[in-house]
Structure 1
Amino acid sequence: MVKDATPVWISLPINLGRLADIGEWDQNTGGSSSLLYSVGAAATIGAMGLWWMWSSRPSLKKITQLVDPDQQTRELPDGSRVCKYLKSDALMRFIHSDAKTVYEAVRRGARVSNNGPMLGFRNNHGEQYEWLRYTDALERSGRFARAMRALGLPVGQQCFVGIFAKNRPEWVLVEQAVYAFNNVLVPLYETLGPDASVHIVNQANIELVFCDAIAKTKGLLERKSACPSLKFIVLITSANEELDDSVREDAAREGVQLLSLDDFERMGLRDEVASMPDVPPSSDDLATICYTSGTTGVPKGDVMFSFLPLAHMFERVMQTAVYCEGGSVGFFRGDLRLLGDDIKTLRPTIMPVVPRVLNRIYDKMMAEANKSILSRLVVDAAVGLKTREVNNWIVRNNSLLDQIVFKKVREGLGGRVKLMITGSAPLSETVLTFMRCATGAIVCEGYGQTECVAAATITIEGDPIPGHVGAPAPCCAIKLLDVPELNYFARDGAGEVCVKGTNVFRGYYKMPEQTAETLDADGWLHTGDIGRWTQQGTLKIVDRKKHIFKLAQGEYVAPEKIELIYMRSKYVAQCFVHGESLKTCLVAVIVPDPDVFPGAVKKALGIEGTMEELCQHELVKKLVLEDMHEVGKKAGLFTFEQAKDICLCAEQFSVENDLLTPTLKSKRPQLKAHFERELCTMYDKLE
């Protein structure tokens, strides 16, 4: 477990430039069960004709293009590329001169919003969101910061503070409190596992941890003997979770001072610390150590929904950009089953999302549409017509088709979403185009890693071409290096993606050898991903350098590339491709989508049953494998890259069963061990 918790050493200047298993999500947001079943066919066709004439009018406003969409990057003398948005070869370090750090960004937000709402929360179903304004948030975080001084924590970069909590307003208050005296924030999260939490506390020499649940507090106390540096725990509990005497006794026995958040905050009012001035960081100071396996210029009044873990850099960067512009962030209640209700109540205008969420929305809509020939024809026609607008750089949600066909999708997202940014994993071209049509929102796709503070590239607003991840962010340059063993060469516009700029991390904390493997002497971050420049000067991720293996006949195989292709099959939700150096072919474990698979199998074969029963049926397996081969052939897979046999599994890969990392990437060693019997059976049968 600890191996998956690689510490990334990051400073956070504001420099991105302009531009999960989701539980019950589909119940509350994705359904389009009333597409237009109450609308007659003739009326529908007539309405679509009127809409088509309306949509063809030249007066529809197009999105302003920041750069020439046909040439979005330019080449520097060293062969690297930068976004054409830059007016010189110098990379952007910050957007606003008064917001060079996360500390400064929030204070700028307070000014430009005129003390507007900053942090939103709700406790119970039926309640509206309550808001903490910027000055109130800064006052509370100031008391937190001074309470740390009252505990004896030092000022400056040598002090590391842990937070072990789900997304909530207090998470941001603690973060700002840490930065107020130039300390360093270290997030922990449950999915790394208890052993990794101990490793983090020890490696960062953490004395103070903020916890949002008694269970997490007990877990740390049970392992206190392995965490000698831990001295203080501040418990952020909900209204219905009170601190009992047994936990206090456990803490006292382990020599840990346990404080409620209220008691801790009152310590910040003590005379000896209350008047202490802030000691803010500079843009070159260390902000956070992130353990892990944007658009700026946000208009005032925008609201972002927060549910992706704040322990990940993607969510942190998005929130910082919103605060910098005086926007607001509303937090989900911490229960994924209530996510849809929280979204509908908050009605956000900005949403960071991961492909898994968008895939579920798309799959649910298509499953409903496939219930009748008419509804599928209408949806396909609506997507086709709106795609014409999207391809013409027109984004809107006020057409007749928006009101008839796509209304449920928008309402499921609150009805006000204007900007969605997706990252962390590739998104299929079909789903991306559908979401742009159905939401009438700007949907941008980004690419990056924790090691480059989440974002290395991002698509420009309104770019209609799917299948790429945009141009380099203005804060960095990108170059491609030869990978001869996979036949990728920079002279052909392909190779390993390398990133250099102010967003690149300093290195892995206390791990110089691993740092040297990833960060070269010239400051280039070697990502391990294979990219290709498109004709438009944007980057397309096509392969992975890591996890490459050689088959018995000497052919190199990149399994992650194959998995991404197979996931385009309508039957495949998750995929694990496996091969061995002593074998001549590949096999795969396939997890079908439970929302789509039973209906698709019934339609194709007339076979019904539970997910478990269908996954054991030989005809069903044959159907899925044939479709995978067809998808692979269309994508250009070589014969040796096609799986020769598959095993269907009803249980999804997840963080909980230790088959996915917290960022929802496959844990290949764990997958191999988990399915060892099935893999051996497939190879035995093939031989």
Structure 2
Amino acid sequence: MSTAQSVIDTDTIAGRPASVAHMFLSRVEATPGQLAYRYPAPVDERAANATTGAEQWLSLTWSQAADRVFAIAAGLVDLGVEPEERIGLAASTRIEWILADLGVMCAGAAVTTVYPSTNADETGFILADAGCRVLLAEDGKQLGKAVAERGGLPELATVVVFDPPAELPEVEGLTIITLAELERRGAALLEREPEAVRRRVEAIGRDQLATVVYTSGTTGRPKGVRLSHDAWSYQGVAQEESGLLRPEDIHYMWLPLSHVFGKSLIAGQVRTGQVMAVDGRVDKIITNLPLIKPTIMASAPRVFEKVYNGIAGRARAEGGAKYKIFMWAAKVARQWAQVTQENRIATGRDTAPLGLKLQHALADKLVYAKIRQAFGGQMRGAVSGSAALAPEIAYFFAGVGVPVLEGYGLTETSAGIIVNRVEDFRVGTVGVPFKGSEVRIAEDGEILLRGPGVMSGYHNQPEQTAEVLESDGWFHSGDIGELTQAGYLRITDRKKDMFKTSGGKYVAPSEVEGKFKAVCPFVSNILVIGNGRNFCSALITLDEPVIMPWAAEHGVTGKTYAEVVTSPQVRALIEDYVTKLNGELQRWQTIKKFTLLPRDLDIEHGELTPSLKIKRPVVERVYAAEVSEMYAGANEA
């Protein structure tokens, strides 16, 4: 395969601040009184106001945010934290996470993020491997994990708790304080030494360690990715330069901030000065959207799939004319998006034939406007990353007027390094590189990446670093893809996920899985299997809020989800969709057998990463009996 690469913009590299901490100071000085953050009131205040039925939201200006960030930074300095020392941060997405993260960076230390859903054993591994001296813990549950693993954490000296239990435990050799106490200690230090934090920020070097972020660990123990202050500064500048984030935006942040995707957007927000509404409660997304009225929101593809399935499911439940109208409008949305994209590529203009224009205008009045209002009515676009979004779903949202801009990056590239732009996005691609970054396709189809956002290496793992990072800076992503003539990147599959059937044919499972999600509105997760087998099979889970109403309408009542998915009616329903899928595939890709699982895959059972990627080895191990049964009696070559 031929190789290609983008042109690097050296001016972009030379002109940015040394760190997000420098960027934060500049932002506070430029717009001290401007609104920076909105966030729901703390849990105790929410409980106190529960009788009103309305949730109270609070706000911080940049100056007010700086007071807390500097106090946290100074508090860490008072604890004796030195530059580049690792500070663990285990909390859900909330305002304190952002303030703490900025505080650690302003102290010159290095954040080590830990998902709050991570179990005690893996939390202990991450904190020990990173050598964390301090842990910033959300609550008693996160504190308990550190206490449980205390024997394996010799370097951990202090835990700072955001929402402390009624009584803080006493643990030998471990100081446990509240975030409020840390901020009080920091404020006292700043009274004595007003320039203490600014001196720390001014001393930060571009190549100094800023974070150790651990990979999702889909195939084993996670690896600590070392990212410099320059990588995060680059993210902020690149997001602004590309137009991905804009100063006038209202950004709804609910993504897990322990993941690089969410964390990178903090850098962009500091750079642009936009307003960020912060609330990590996933069950509040639908409620929050019309309240926040965001102009931009980032998400994983699974959320857009669930939104689409939910809309289609409600329309189906209403039946009759309403369902027919929705199906017609969905078809028009896809046609409109495809035609206008093709014309934009060919002529530079979003044009469509008159007949399609009239249909789209009518569908907008009947259907699309309501969908946009459900998103808050101001959404100029949404950003999707961490996995592929089915093109049919992307075309649908583009036609509705809420374009989903797919991007691409990894933990090792400090999140997005390639992204679609709202003014010229291409469904089916992940866009073009940020200025200052390069992409190249290797002879075997692997995507290679280079730029300021690329890691310096894996923490304590020089051999594994050498396997993926070349001496001239090219990073081997492990993904397979191709570049279009215009320089847009298409992702084909994970190199390690591709398999060969016993007949010698290669199958990219994510391609098949994505196609099934596009044709079946009931699917939640699907895992295609077939390595070394003479045919492909699939493990499938269904979206419970969508399949249960359908089941009730078709005579399957009074049953649990596990009973519903084993019913003949649901089996026949999904079999029809599998047949439809197979009509779009090459013979060797087709799904010959499938099993509907009795529950959805989840993080708690270790089958999904916190960023909702399937842990294939885990799922295949858990459901080994079901897989064996699908191949029982098959003539395995």
Tell me the TM-score range normalised by the shorter chain: 0.7 to 0.9
| 2:88 alignment counterpart | 162
Alignment of 1:347 onto 2:347? no
CA displacement at 1:113 relative to structure 2: 3.6
Q: 2:561 aligned to 584, 608, 611, which one?
A: 611
| 1:248 alignment counterpart | 169
| 1:279 alignment counterpart | 200
| 1:434 alignment counterpart | 396
Once the two structures are superposed, the pairs formed by residues 78-477 of structure 1 within 5 Å of their partners are 79-82=3-6, 89-91=8-10, 93-94=12-13, 97=15, 99-123=17-41, 124=46, 126-154=54-82, 156-157=83-84, 159-237=85-163, 243-245=165-167, 247-249=168-170, 251=171, 254-268=172-186, 269-270=188-189, 273-276=193-196, 277-280=198-201, 281-293=204-216, 295-296=239-240, 297=243, 298-332=245-279, 334-370=280-316, 371-383=318-330, 388=336, 391=341, 401-438=363-400, 440-463=401-424, 465-477=426-438
Alignment of 1:531 onto 2:481? yes
Alignment of 1:481 onto 2:442? yes
Paired letter, 1:434: F
| 1:505 alignment counterpart | 455
Q: 1:262 to 1:465 in 2, by over 3 A?
A: closer
Q: Which runs of 5+ in 2 are unaligned?
A: 47-52, 217-237, 352-356
Deviation track 1:610-666 (CA, whole Å, cap 9, x = no partner) reads 5323422356435524532432331x43x2322321111141111112111112111
Structure 2 residue matching 1:426: 3-state secondary structure: coil
Paired letter, 1:640: W
Paired letter, 2:255: L
Moved more, 515-524 or 227-236: 515-524
Contact preservation (8 Å) 2:290, 2:374: yes
Partners in 1 of 2:362 and 2:154 — Cα distance? 64
CA displacement at 1:594 relative to structure 2: 2.4
Q: 1:533 to 1:621 in 2, by over 3 A?
A: same
Partners in 2 of 1:413 and 1:128 — Cα distance? 20
Partners in 2 of 1:561 and 1:623 — Cα distance? 22
CA displacement at 1:198 relative to structure 2: 0.9
Partners in 2 of 1:310 and 1:513 — Cα distance? 29
Contact preservation (8 Å) 1:588, 1:645: yes
Partners in 2 of 1:476 and 1:300 — Cα distance? 23
Deviation track 1:359-411 (CA, whole Å, cap 9, x = no partner) reads 11111222233343532443345456565375466699x97754542333223
Alignment of 1:585 onto 2:509? no
Q: 1:402 to 1:567 in 2, by over 3 A?
A: closer
TM-score by length of 2: 0.83
Higher RCO by CA contacts (8 Å cutoff, separation 6 or greater): 1
Partners in 2 of 1:535 and 1:368 — Cα distance? 41
Q: What RMSD, in angstroms, separates the aligned Cα atoms of the two structures? A: 2.9
Partners in 1 of 2:598 and 2:423 — Cα distance? 38
Contact preservation (8 Å) 2:251, 2:276: yes
CA displacement at 1:104 relative to structure 2: 2.4
Partners in 1 of 2:55 and 2:571 — Cα distance? 47
Paired letter, 2:249: D
| 1:59 alignment counterpart | none
Deviation track 1:485-516 (CA, whole Å, cap 9, x = no partner) reads xxxxxxxxxx1111111111111111111111
Moved more, 543-552 or 317-326: 543-552
Partners in 2 of 1:300 and 1:112 — Cα distance? 13
Contact preservation (8 Å) 2:77, 2:107: no
Paired letter, 1:278: R
Structure 1 residue matching 2:27: 3-state secondary structure: helix
CA displacement at 1:227 relative to structure 2: 0.8
Partners in 2 of 1:109 and 1:394 — Cα distance? 37
Paired letter, 1:662: P
Moved more, 289-298 or 141-150: 289-298
Partners in 2 of 1:430 and 1:553 — Cα distance? 31
Structure 2 residue matching 1:517: 3-state secondary structure: helix
Q: 1:129 to 1:193 in 2, by over 3 A?
A: same
Paired letter, 2:311: M
CA displacement at 1:182 relative to structure 2: 1.8
Once the two structures are superposed, the pairs formed by residues 67-82 of structure 1 within 5 Å of their partners are 79-82=3-6
Structure 2 residue matching 1:105: 3-state secondary structure: helix
Q: Considering fraction of residues, name the structure with more helix.
A: 2
Structure 2 residue matching 1:190: 3-state secondary structure: coil
Q: 1:619 to 1:400 in 2, by over 3 A?
A: closer
Alignment of 1:682 onto 2:630? yes
CA displacement at 1:340 relative to structure 2: 2.5
Deviation track 1:239-262 (CA, whole Å, cap 9, x = no partner) reads xxx5333x332x3xx221111122
Partners in 2 of 1:266 and 1:348 — Cα distance? 34
Deviation track 1:136-169 (CA, whole Å, cap 9, x = no partner) reads 2112211111111211222x22x11111111112
Partners in 2 of 1:289 and 1:93 — Cα distance? 25
Contact preservation (8 Å) 2:582, 2:591: no
Deviation track 1:384-442 (CA, whole Å, cap 9, x = no partner) reads 6565375466699x97754542333223222222231111111112211222233x344
Q: 1:612 to 1:301 in 2, by over 3 A?
A: same
Contact preservation (8 Å) 1:108, 1:326: no
Once the two structures are superposed, the pairs formed by residues 654-673 of structure 1 within 5 Å of their partners are 654-673=602-621
TM-score by length of 1: 0.78
Partners in 2 of 1:275 and 1:109 — Cα distance? 17
Partners in 2 of 1:619 and 1:468 — Cα distance? 37
Partners in 2 of 1:412 and 1:528 — Cα distance? 37
Structure 2 residue matching 1:663: 3-state secondary structure: coil
| 2:219 alignment counterpart | none
Q: 1:273 to 1:149 in 2, by over 3 A?
A: farther
Structure 2 residue matching 1:406: 3-state secondary structure: helix
Paired letter, 1:449: L
Structure 2 residue matching 1:536: 3-state secondary structure: coil
Q: 1:465 to 1:433 in 2, by over 3 A?
A: same
Contact preservation (8 Å) 1:621, 1:646: no
Paired letter, 1:628: V
Q: Which runs of 5+ in 1 are unaligned?
A: 1-77, 484-494
Of all paired residues, the percent bearing the same amino acid is 25
Partners in 1 of 2:565 and 2:383 — Cα distance? 34
Partners in 2 of 1:618 and 1:282 — Cα distance? 64
Structure 1 residue matching 2:595: 3-state secondary structure: strand
Structure 2 residue matching 1:162: 3-state secondary structure: strand
CA displacement at 1:481 relative to structure 2: 1.2
Partners in 2 of 1:425 and 1:178 — Cα distance? 30
Contact preservation (8 Å) 1:456, 1:476: yes
Deviation track 1:237-285 (CA, whole Å, cap 9, x = no partner) reads 1xxxx5333x332x3xx22111112211111113555542432223322
